[in-house]
C-alpha cells in the first residue's frame, strides 16, 4: 500500500520497513545464539583464569619445591609439546586422531587422499610422541596401528610420492589387491607391537579392517604380526635389561601377571558367582560407552561446523586450551587426594620391569613419608603405570578418589579425542574402565564384605568400557588375554565384551564407525539394512551410463570430466581379441592418456605455428579458418591440466567388457 505513493523515496523506505519486520525474528534468533555461545566461552575462560590465579597464589612448598612454580613449569612443557604436535597436524591434516577410521575405510575399498603417505607417517609418529608427552589423555596404540599400515603400504612399493625423484625399478605389487593385503598386514603388526598380541592383531585386521580376506592372507598377516612382536620384544628386553635375546617385554602395553599370593589358598582370581557381577558391569560399560560416543559425536560436529572452517591456528588454540585445562584439573584434583599408607610388596605385586616393585610408581604429592597420595598416583603417572596400579596395587583407593578420577578422566578424554593432534583411544578407555572396575570391587569388599580379587574386577571394568566405546568382540578378547598372559580370563572377558557391545549397539554405533560417518566415507557395512532386502539391481543402477572407449580422444575425456561428478568410468570394448590387452587395468589407461597428452601438445604447437603463417595472407577466409582451428585446440590445452590433475589424483578407471 505504501508503494502507491508518488514519492519514490518514500516507497523504498516503506519496503525496507516491511522487510525488516519480516526478517527480525530470524536476526534476533541468530544474534541470541551467538550471544549465548559468546557468553558460555567468556564464563569458561573466566573460570579457567580464576582457577589458575588461585593455584598460583598457593604457596605450599616443601624441601623439593613450591606448587605454583611446579604448575607453571608443567604448563610450559605441556603446552610446548602439544603446540609442536598441532603444528605437525597442520602440515598433514590426515595425521590427526588415531587413524583407525581411515585405515578401516581404506581396507573397505575407499581411498582417502594422503592416508598412507610417507609424510603422514612422519607427522603421525613424531606428533604422537609430543601429544603423549604433553600430558593429554591420549594413547599411542591407535597411531601405532596407523603407522604400521603406512609401512605396509609403502615398503613393498620401493617408492614414495614425497620423494618423487628417488625411483627404483620394482614393478611388483602394483595392484589394489596387493596394496590392501600389505596394509592389512601392517595394521595387524601395529596391534601386535602395541599390545604384544600377534593373534589379536591378526583378528583385529580381520574383524575391523579388511573387507577382502582369504586363507593365504591369514598366514601372511599372522607371520607379520609374530615378526613385529618378537622384534620389539628383542630390542626392548636388550635395551631395558641388557639381556639381549631374553624376550621379557612382549609389547608396549603389558598388564602384568595376575596371581594370588603364595600360600593363600582362599584367594581366587574369579568364581562363577562373579560372572553375575561381570554381566552387570558389561551393561554399565555399554551404557557408559554409548554416552561417551554420543558426547564425542556432538563435539566432532561442533568442530566441523565452527572450528574447521576458520583459520588453521584456531585448531592449535583449541589444542592448547585442552592442554591447559587438563593440566590445571590434574593439579587441582590431586590436592583432593587422600594420603594412604604404603602396602607391603607381595609376590603378585610386581609389574612394569621384572623385579621392579609396584610401589616405585606411587606419588607422595606433599604427603608424609611412607604414605602416598592416591589421586596423584593415578594422575601423575604414565597411563600404563596407572593401569598397573589399579590392577595390582594392594593398597586401596578410596571410593571418592576413584569416582572423581573416573568422572574427570571420562570428560577430558571425550573432549580430547578429536582435537588436532595424533591421539589414540585404547589406553584412555582402559584406564577409565579400570577405575570403574576398581570402584565396583571396593564397594563389594567394603559394603558387602565379599572376598574378591580387585585386579580382576579392574580388568573386567576396563574391558567393559573399552568394548562399549569401540564395539569390538573377538579381537579385543584375544588382545586382552594375550596382554594378561592368563587364559582363565577368556570366559569373563568374552561375556563382558558381548554384553557391552549389545548394550551399546542399542543406542548408537562404535566410535570409529561414528567418525567414518562424520567424514562422509561410503563404508560398506557387514550387514545390510532391512530396507535394502527389498531392493533389486534395477532400483540402484544408472540408466544413462557415461562410458568411454579404449581410444577415446582427450577432448572427449575432458568434456566428460566437466559434465559429470563421478571419478570412475567403464571402458567399453566390443573386440574379444583386445580383452587380454585391457586386463592391465589403470596402467594401460594411464599410458594412453600420457600418450594422448603429448600428442595433443605437439599438434597444438604445430597448429599455432601454422596459424601465425596463415594470418599473413590477405584473405579473410584463411584467417577465419585459423581462428576456428585455434578455438578447437584451446579446450585440449586446458584439458591437459585437467588430465594432469586426474593422473595425480590416481582416478580409478574401472573396466567392463560389453559382449
Residue range 421-455, pLDDT digits in tens: 999 999 999 999 999 999 999 988 888 888 888 88
Only one residue has cell 574379444, namely 576
Cβ-contact 48, 324 below 8 angstroms: yes
What would the pLDDT profile of 81-127 be if each residue is shown by its tens digit?
999 999 999 999 999 988 888 888 888 888 888 888 888 999 999 99
What would the pLDDT profile of 554-589 be if each residue is shown by its tens digit?
888 888 888 887 767 788 776 555 554 443 343 334
Mean pLDDT value across residues 523-548:
78
Q: What is the pLDDT of residue 347?
A: 41
Mean pLDDT, rounded, of the chain: 77
Mean pLDDT value across residues 63-81:
80
Q: What is the pLDDT of residue 205?
A: 86
Phi, psi of 105 (to 5 degrees): -65, -40
Domains 31-241 and 272-311+362-519 share a fold: yes
Residue 174 has pLDDT above 60, yes or no: yes
Sign, CA dihedral 444-445-451-457, equals positive
d(CA 3, CA 288): 62
d(CA 303, CA 421): 14
d(CA 180, CA 106): 8
The C-alpha cell at 542 is: 544408472
Residue 285 has pLDDT above 60, yes or no: yes
Cβ-contact 99, 144 below 8 angstroms: no
What would the pLDDT profile of 636-646 be if each residue is shown by its tens digit?
444 445 555 55
Secondary structure of residue 67 in the 3-state scheme: helix
Region of 413 please: left (phi>0), alpha (psi -120 to 50) or beta.
alpha
Confidence of residue 15 (pLDDT cuts 50, 70, 90): low
Confidence of residue 506 (pLDDT cuts 50, 70, 90): very high
Name the nearest CA neighbour of 134 among 83, 71, 98, 67: 83
Residue 3 has pLDDT above 50, yes or no: no
The C-alpha cell at 497 is: 565384551
Q: Where are the domains of the chain?
A: 31-241, 272-311+362-519, 537-648
Mean pLDDT comparison of 41-55, 152-166, 307-321, highest-scoring range: 307-321
- What is the CATH T-level fold of the domain 31-241, as seen in this structure? Clc chloride channel (1.10.3080)
Distance set, CA 373 to CA 377, 406, 430, 432 (Å): 6, 16, 22, 19
What would the pLDDT profile of 372-409 be if each residue is shown by its tens digit?
888 888 898 888 888 988 988 766 788 899 999 999 99
CB atoms within 10 A of CB 125: 18
Cβ-contact 586, 176 below 8 angstroms: no
Residue 391 has, within 13 A of its CA and on its CB side, a CA count of 26
CATH architecture of 272-311+362-519: Orthogonal Bundle (1.10)
pTM of the complete model: 0.74
Q: What is the CA radius of gyration of the chain?
A: 31
Q: What is the pLDDT of residue 583?
A: 39
Distance set, CA 411 to CA 50, 296, 299, 441 (Å): 20, 10, 12, 23
Length of the chain equals 659
Percent of the chain with pLDDT over 70: 70
Q: What is the pLDDT of residue 622?
A: 41
Mean pLDDT value across residues 607-612:
52
Amino acid at each position: 500500500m505504501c508503494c502507491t505513493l508518488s514519492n519514490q523515496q518514500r516507497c523504498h523506505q516503506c519496503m525496507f520497513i516491511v522487510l525488516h519486520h519480516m526478517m527480525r525474528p530470524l536476526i534476533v534468533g541468530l544474534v541470541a545464539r551467538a550471544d549465548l555461545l559468546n557468553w558460555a566461552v567468556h564464563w569458561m575462560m573466566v573460570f579457567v583464569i580464576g582457577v589458575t590465579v588461585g593455584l598460583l597464589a598457593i604457596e605450599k612448598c616443601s624441601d623439593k619445591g613450591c606448587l605454583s612454580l611446579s604448575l607453571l613449569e608443567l604448563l610450559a612443557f605441556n603446552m610446548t609439546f602439544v603446540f609442536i604436535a598441532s603444528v605437525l597436524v597442520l602440515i598433514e591434516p590426515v595425521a590427526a586422531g588415531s587413524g583407525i577410521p581411515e585405515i578401516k575405510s581404506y581396507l573397505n575399498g575407499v581411498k582417502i587422499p594422503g592416508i598412507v603417505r610417507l609424510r603422514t607417517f612422519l607427522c603421525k609418529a613424531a606428533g604422537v610422541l609430543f601429544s603423549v608427552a604433553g600430558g593429554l589423555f591420549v594413547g599411542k596404540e591407535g597411531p601405532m596401528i596407523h603407522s604400521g599400515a603406512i609401512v605396509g603400504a609403502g615398503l613393498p612399493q620401493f617408492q614414495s610420492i614425497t620423494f618423487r625423484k628417488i625411483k627404483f625399478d620394482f614393478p611388483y605389487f602394483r595392484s589394489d589387491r596387493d596394496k590392501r593385503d600389505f596394509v592389512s598386514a601392517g595394521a595387524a603388526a601395529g596391534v601386535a607391537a602395541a599390545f604384544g598380541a600377534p593373534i589379536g592383531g591378526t583378528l583385529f585386521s580381520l574383524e575391523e579392517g579388511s573387507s577382502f580376506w582369504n586363507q593365504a592372507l591369514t598366514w601372511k598377516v599372522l607371520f607379520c604380526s609374530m615378526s613385529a612382536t618378537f622384534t620389539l620384544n628383542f630390542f626392548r628386553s636388550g635395551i631395558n635389561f641388557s639381556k639381549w635375546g631374553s624376550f621379557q617385554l612382549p609389547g608396549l602395553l603389558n598388564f602384568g601377571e595376575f596371581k594370588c599370593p603364595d600360600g593363600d589358598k582362599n584367594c581366587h582370581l574369579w568364581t562363577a558367582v562373579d560372572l553375575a557381577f561381570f554381566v552387570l558391569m558389561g551393561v554399565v560399560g555399554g551404557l557408559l560407552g554409548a554416552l561417551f560416543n554420543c558426547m564425542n559425536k556432538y563435539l566432532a560436529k561442533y568442530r566441523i561446523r565452527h572450528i574447521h572452517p576458520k583459520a588453521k591456528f584456531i585448531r592449535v588454540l583449541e589444542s592448547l586450551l585442552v592442554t591447559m585445562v587438563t593440566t590445571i584439573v590434574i593439579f587441582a584434583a590431586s590436592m583432593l587426594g587422600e594420603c594412604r599408607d604404603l602396602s607391603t610388596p607381595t609376590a603378585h605385586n610386581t609389574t612394569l620391569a621384572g623385579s621392579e616393585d609396584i610401589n616405585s610408581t606411587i606419588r607422595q604429592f606433599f604427603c608424609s613419608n611412607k604414605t602416598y597420595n592416591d589421586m596423584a598416583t593415578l594422575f601423575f603417572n604414565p597411563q600404563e603405570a596407572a593401569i598397573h596400579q589399579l590392577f595390582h596395587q594392594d593398597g586401596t583407593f578410596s571410593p571418592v578418589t576413584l569416582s572423581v578420577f573416573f568422572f574427570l578422566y571420562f570428560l577430558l578424554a571425550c573432549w580430547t579425542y578429536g582435537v588436532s593432534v595424533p591421539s589414540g583411544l585404547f589406553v584412555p578407555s582402559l584406564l577409565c574402565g579400570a577405575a570403574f572396575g576398581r570402584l565396583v570391587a571396593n564397594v563389594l569388599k567394603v559394603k558387602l564384605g565379599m572376598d574378591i580379587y580387585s585386579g580382576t574386577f579392574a580388568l573386567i571394568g576396563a574391558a567393559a568400557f573399552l568394548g562399549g566405546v569401540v564395539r569390538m568382540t573377538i579381537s579385543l578378547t584375544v588382545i586382552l588375554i594375550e596382554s594378561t598372559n592368563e587364559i582363565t580370563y577368556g570366559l569373563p572377558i568374552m561375556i563382558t565384551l558381548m554384553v557391552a557391545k549389545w548394550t551399546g549397539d542399542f543406542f548408537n554405533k562404535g566410535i570409529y564407525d561414528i567418525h567414518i560417518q562424520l567424514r562422509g566415507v561410503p563404508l560398506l557395512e557387514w550387514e545390510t539394512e532391512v530396507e535394502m532386502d527389498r531392493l533389486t539391481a534395477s532400483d540402484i543402477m544408472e540408466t544413462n551410463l557415461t562410458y568411454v572407449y579404449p581410444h577415446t580422444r582427450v577432448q572427449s575425456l575432458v568434456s566428460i570430466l566437466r559434465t559429470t561428478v563421478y571419478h570412475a568410468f567403464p571402458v567399453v570394448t566390443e573386440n574379444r581379441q583386445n580383452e587380454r590387452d585391457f586386463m592391465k587395468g589403470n596402467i594401460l589407461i594411464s599410458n594412453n592418456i600420457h600418450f594422448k597428452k603429448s600428442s595433443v601438445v605437439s599438434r597444438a604447437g604445430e597448429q599455432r605455428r601454422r596459424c601465425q603463417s596463415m594470418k599473413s595472407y590477405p584473405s579473410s577466409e584463411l584467417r577465419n579458418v585459423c581462428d576456428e582451428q585455434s578455438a578447437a585446440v584451446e579446450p585440449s590445452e586446458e584439458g591437459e591440466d585437467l588430465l594432469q590433475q586426474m593422473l595425480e589424483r590416481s582416478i580409478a578407471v574401472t573396466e567392463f567388457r560389453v559382449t
